[in-house]
Amino acid sequence: MDQIASTAAPGWLTAPAPVPYPAALAEMQAHIAAMQAGLATERIWLLEHPPLYTAGTSAKPDDLQVPDRFPTFTTGRGGQWTYHGPGQRVVYIMLDLNVPHGGVPARDLHGYVEGLETWLIRALASVGVRGEIRAGRVGVWVANPRTGTDDKIGAIGVRVTRWVTSHGVSLNVNPSLDHFGGIVPCGIRAHGVTSLHALGVPATMAEVDDALRTAWRDVFGGKPACKVS
């Protein structure tokens, strides 16, 4: 039987204040369970966290270089060590990949990750930043004209359970970049981390959110994004 592409927009939820990681994880898991039971629809959750480090399934203990700096959490997403904190837009994405979404085919995890990269790149372009992908490195990168370095600005770490997605992406708007110094971000030692403000782009979080909503429709299709309370 052919699968019918998703045409309805996911509900977009924005947290008004930083959400503790355990509370966010519990809410995300509860929503996914409700989706799998047919009791909830797809959701995209925009939030910030208090300063913390999370370890993905490939995280190496030695890459946590300052263990007592911030709370640390082990998580079921892919990837390695990541920092989250105020000024960074975290987006938890709960989609049913049993059906296609725009240009992303059904049950195509690789295509889904590529779609997330394209989404972030298009959102960055709308605020005047050229984001790029790099062979062998997941996430979104920029050639930093201020430092001459190749820096990461957007991270991706996902989990898929029975083809329903969780976790998602983070985009550095204006976090404290020195907080990344407690880890080896994503296990990559040879490159740095940057943000929109560090690149001289003073975009607000609201402007970034608008860019993300618009770019989502371009990549993943669906009707205009709807907000939920």
Query: Per mean pLDDT, which range of 57-61, 62-66, 85-89, 220-224 is the poorest?
Result: 220-224
pLDDT at res. 7: 45
* Pairwise pLDDT comparison (224 vs 152), residue with the higher score: 152
Enter the pTM of the model: 0.92
- β-bridge partners, 90: 47, 170
* Pairwise pLDDT comparison (139 vs 174), residue with the higher score: 174
pLDDT at res. 191: 78
For the cut 60, the answer to whether the pLDDT of residue 11 exceeds it is: yes
For the cut 70, the answer to whether the pLDDT of residue 190 exceeds it is: no
Query: 158, 170 in Cβ contact below 8 A?
Result: no
pLDDT at res. 187: 66
Q: What digits encode the pLDDT tens for the residues 173-184?
A: 999 999 999 998
* 189-227 burial code (b ≥16 CB/10 A, e <16): eebebbbbebbebebebeebbbbbbebbeebbbbeebee
Segments making up each domain of the chain, as ranges: 11-227
Please work out, in degrees rounded to the nearest 5, the angle formed at the alpha carbon of residue 211 by the alpha carbons of 30 and 18: 45
Would you place residue 3 in the very low, low, confident or very high pLDDT band (cuts 50, 70, 90)?
very low
Topology adopted by domain 11-227: BirA Bifunctional Protein; domain 2 (3.30.930)
The pLDDT mean for the chain works out to: 91
* Pairwise pLDDT comparison (95 vs 191), residue with the higher score: 95
| Residues that are catalytic | 186
For 111-136, what is the mean pLDDT? 96
